[in-house]
Amino acid sequence: MQQEQRPGRRTVLGAAAALGAGSVVLGTAGTSAATARSTASEQAGGRGGYRDLPVPTVIGHRGASGYRPEHTLGSYQFALDNGADVIEQDLVPTKDGHLVCRHENDISQTTDVAAHPEFAHRKTTKTVDGTAVTGWFTEDFTLAELKTLRAKERLPNVRQHNTLYDGRWTIPTFEEVLDWAEEQGRKRGRRVWLHSETKHPTYFRSLGLGLEERLAKLLRRYGRHRADSPQFLESFEPGSLQRLGRLGVRAPKIFLIDDLPTKPYDFVVAKDPRTVADLITPQGLKWIAGFAQGIGPTLQLIIPRDANGKLTKPTKLVGNAHAAGLVLHPWTMRNENSFLPADFRRGTDPNAYGDAFGAFQAYYATGIDGIFSDNCDTAVLAREDFRKGHKG
């Protein structure tokens, strides 16, 4: 879901600073509330719904993409083995209608497709959500053809150690992930939570490859369509979540939110004038609560960064979202200096780890309910530190 890889959605650095300082401040107020919710969740047990998850909930972003090539069974397994409470998948379709797990339908950077001469002629340029993208696209391949490809690291210059695993795994189907989650659940004696995103749903519907119907069918088959299912559904397009609701899918839904001046692509198509700035007002959040159980904002909307990349004061978004009955699952924390706020960078190597623990503490202290992280083990240890330091 990260900005630099999402066609048609602008990266507006520093834009979130326009939100100003909010009433949620770093310190005991936010942390005490989060600790209390986490304790209550653990004591609740019971139904096993999303409010029973540990708080802050650690969501393995594309699995454990800080350690293994993203959206592979190896990445998902590593995340689960290293403490992630929930594992994320991004869903795109194949030419013959199967849902597969890729961050984008353009597979140029995440597979070895360029090394397959038999597919050279399929390289093309398409307009996805208003942006021209050149590459190879899942919707031009059958599942059988995609299965001849192997996954590889998307950021080889940043995560050179991940390239060790290039070629080890194929592109998984969502059905394979559901089978994997069932198997792991049986082994562990508990349900395995998933967090699944519909990617570019308006674009794919225009191609006759609507995501929601295919997704709803699979969720029903695996019993993950109910309100208490161990399953989050996420999308940057509210219309996709609303469609899933109309299809009878009651699993908790998270509306993903980008920077202030942007708007969901289905709003662009429908000529809806509202932007993110409108949607995160109390009125906008109340509207979101009509079809979703939570929001997944960029971390910039939780604590903006200044022109030098340092954190400023938290906004009112956490408090306002909670007042509307919504949980918050912001994105995305990574350990490398290049992704961290300037306050927490260490040394001059952009690819070296910075003070990720310090950054986690700053975000956890705002009272967020969960966080997407490429490094789930770091997120879990940071949560332990956070809870030990803010008891009572």
For residues 162 and 109, give the distance between their C-alpha atoms in angstroms, rounded to a whole number: 14
Across-strand partners of 125? 134
3-class DSSP state of 93: strand
One DSSP character per residue, 287-343 reads: HHTTT-SEEEEBGGGTS-B-TTS-B----SHHHHHHHTT-EE--B-B-SBGGGS-GG
Across-strand partners of 133? 126
Cβ atoms of residues 293 and 250 within 8 Å = no
Q: What is the pLDDT of residues 177-230, one digit of tens each?
A: 999 999 999 999 999 999 999 999 999 999 999 999 999 999 999 999 999 999
Give the angle subtended at the CA of 58 by the CAs of 216 and 293, to the nearest 5°: 45
Per-residue model confidence (pLDDT) at position 88: 98
Q: What is the distance of C-alpha 8 from the center of its chain?
A: 17
Cβ atoms of residues 212 and 247 within 8 Å = yes
Across-strand partners of 295? 255, 328
Per-residue model confidence (pLDDT) at position 1: 61
One DSSP character per residue, 258-284 reads: --TT---HHHHHHT----HHHHTSHHH
Please give the structure tokens belonging to residue 117: 């001469």
Low-confidence ranges of the chain (pLDDT < 70): 1-47, 390-392
One DSSP character per residue, 97-156 reads: S-EEE-SSSB-TTTBSGGG-GGGGGG-EEEEETTEEEEE-BGGGS-HHHHTTS-B--S-T
For the chain, what is the total number of helices (H) and then of strands (E)?
13, 11
What is the model's pTM?
A: 0.89
Q: What is the pLDDT of residues 39-65, one digit of tens each?
A: 433 333 335 799 999 999 999 999 999
